[in-house]
Amino acid sequence: MTGIDRITKAFSKGHVAFMPYAVLGYPDRQASLAVVQTLAEAGADLLELGVPFSDPLADGPTIQAATQKSLENGTTLKDCLAMTGELRQRGVNTPALLMGYINPIMAFGIAPFVAEAATVGVDGLIVPDLPPEEADELADACAKHGVALVFLLAPTSTAERIQLVVEKSQGFIYLVSLTGVTGARRDVPPDLADFVARVRAQTDKPLAIGFGIGNGEQARQVSQLANGVIVGSALVKLAAESLDNMRALAMELRAGVGK
């Protein structure tokens, strides 16, 4: 079964998929592995594993601080691949996507990176600073190894942009719930339903919503609109404070999404 198949299957369980995010290498290497294991045990249907980068343009202050700490710990893209492989060896079988930026991938080498990613058990890639118009080389490498390449849409996306992304994105489409960077917000954006409807009118691929979701009630509201709910900053904030509190929030989010 390819990574694309595993991701597709995760959206076919009869409930909205819960996808938590964790920064690899934060608060340190071993602790980050424990964080991911805990999220998997708390009911994650998919995992979004963050690769630290010095200029994370899509990320708000919480994740920026976490990725900076990971970089200070010496975490590299190769380390992130190794950590993913170690998670698989530990028995974490949840479909996993690496979320990272294009510069480290290009420095590594696109073809060898995707080949190694597939070998260690990466199912998909999310590269927020790579537009689909410039993604052919990475897309070809991903197709060769059955790795899903997931693209993002924002509320400001035009009909033409939506059409392009729904054609190119594999596994699911990542919908950014608001205009801005990551970070938990107090309320779900009021125009989110209209945005989702615009995308849904052009595709039947799974839609997963991220950015701004921080508690079970928000997860419940978003789950009424989409096939998947992605939560990052609220969990990352707790990752270095209390594994038990992070587990409790993850279980609250899982319950909010529904089973």
Active-site annotation, residues: 48, 59
Task: List the beta bridge partners of residue 230.
Answer: 19
Selection from 222, 111, 135, 113 nearest residue 176 by Cα: 222
C-alpha torsion sign, points 27, 176, 213, 48: negative
Q: List residues bridging with 125 in a β-sheet.
A: 98, 149
Specify burial of residue 199 (Cβ count, 10 A radius: 0-12, 13-18, 19+): buried
Query: DSSP letters along 184-212, please?
Result: --SS--TTHHHHHHHHHTT--S-EEEESS
Beta strands 173-176; 152-153: pairing state:
parallel
